[in-house]
Amino acid sequence: MRPGTVRVGIVDYSAGNIQSIENAFDHIGARTQRVRQESDLEALTHVLLPGVGAFGFCVDKLRDTGLIPALERWALTEGRPLLGICVGMQLMADRGEELGVHEGLGWVGGVVRELRADPPCIRVPHVGWNDVRFTEEFGPFTAGSSADFYFDHSYALTAPTQGVALGLCDHGQEFTAAVRRGNLVAAQFHPEKSQSAGQRFLQGFLELSA
C-alpha cells in the first residue's frame, strides 16, 4: 500500500506518546488521525495502539474508552492491520506483572514480566539501542537480518502463545522484541524514535493490508 492511500488511526487513551508517533508517520508521508470512539475507525486502513505508563494504568485507561471490543473485531475477526508499540504491545499478553498482576487483552498470549537486572552489565530499565533479529521477513527486513532499535522499558513479553515472535532481542535474557499474528503486529521498541530503522519498520507495517 502506498503511503498516500493509507490512513492510520492512533488510539488516544491518555497513555501514549501520540505526538511522536504522528510525527514519525508524517515523516514517511502517511496521514494519521486520533481514535477516541468506535466510529473513528471507519475511514482507516491501519490502527496503531501506543502505550507509555505502567501496565495496570494503561489497561484501565484503555478499558475506560470502551474501544476494546471494536479493536478486537478490527484486528482478530477482520484481520486488519494493527500495530502495538511498547506498552501497547504488552497489553496484548494474557497478563502483566507490573505493580501487581493485571489481566491483558490476550491477543498474542504470554506473560509480561520484569527483566532481571545483573549490574554492572545488565541494568534495568533496558534503555537505549539494541539489535533486533528478525525471525521472518517483515517489510524491508529479511529473515535472519538484524537492526538497532531504541528501547525504553523494564518489562517484556516472555513468548507469545498465539502468532510468532517476529523479532528477538537480548538483554541478560532473550525476550520478544516484536510479535506478529497475521496483520496484528507489535513491537517492544519504539519505531517512532528509531530513526531510519524505525521508519523502515513502520513502512513494513503500512505494506500490510486486510
Length of the chain: 210
**Grid coordinates in use for 71?**
479493536
**192 belongs to the catalytic site:** yes
Beta bridge partners of 170: 174
Q: Which of 3, 31, 106, 150 binds another protein (CB under 8 A)?
A: 150
Answer yes or no: 190 catalytic. Answer: yes
> Judged by CB under 8 A, does residue 53 bind another protein?
yes
User: Rounded to an integer, what is the distance from CA 172 to the centroid of its chain?
Assistant: 22
CA distance 136 to 159: 16
The residue with cell 525504553 is 152
- Rounded to a whole number of angstroms, the minimum distance from the CB of residue 194 to another protein is 7
- Check if 171 is active-site: no
The count of other CB atoms within 10 Å of the CB of residue 20 is: 14
Residue placing its CB nearer to another protein in the complex, 18 or 91:
18
Residue 152, interface with another protein (CB under 8 A)?
A: yes
Site residue total, another protein (CB under 8 A)? 44
Among the listed residues 25, 78, 79, the one whose alpha carbon sits nearest the alpha carbon of residue 206: 25
Nearer to another protein, 74 or 141 (CB): 141
**Does the footprint of another protein cover residue 193 (CB under 8 A)?**
yes
CA-to-CA distance for 25 and 186, rounded, in angstroms? 16
By the criterion CB under 8 A, which residues form the site for another protein? 17-20, 23-24, 26-27, 52-54, 57, 87, 98-99, 117, 119-120, 123-131, 148, 150-154, 170-171, 190, 192-199
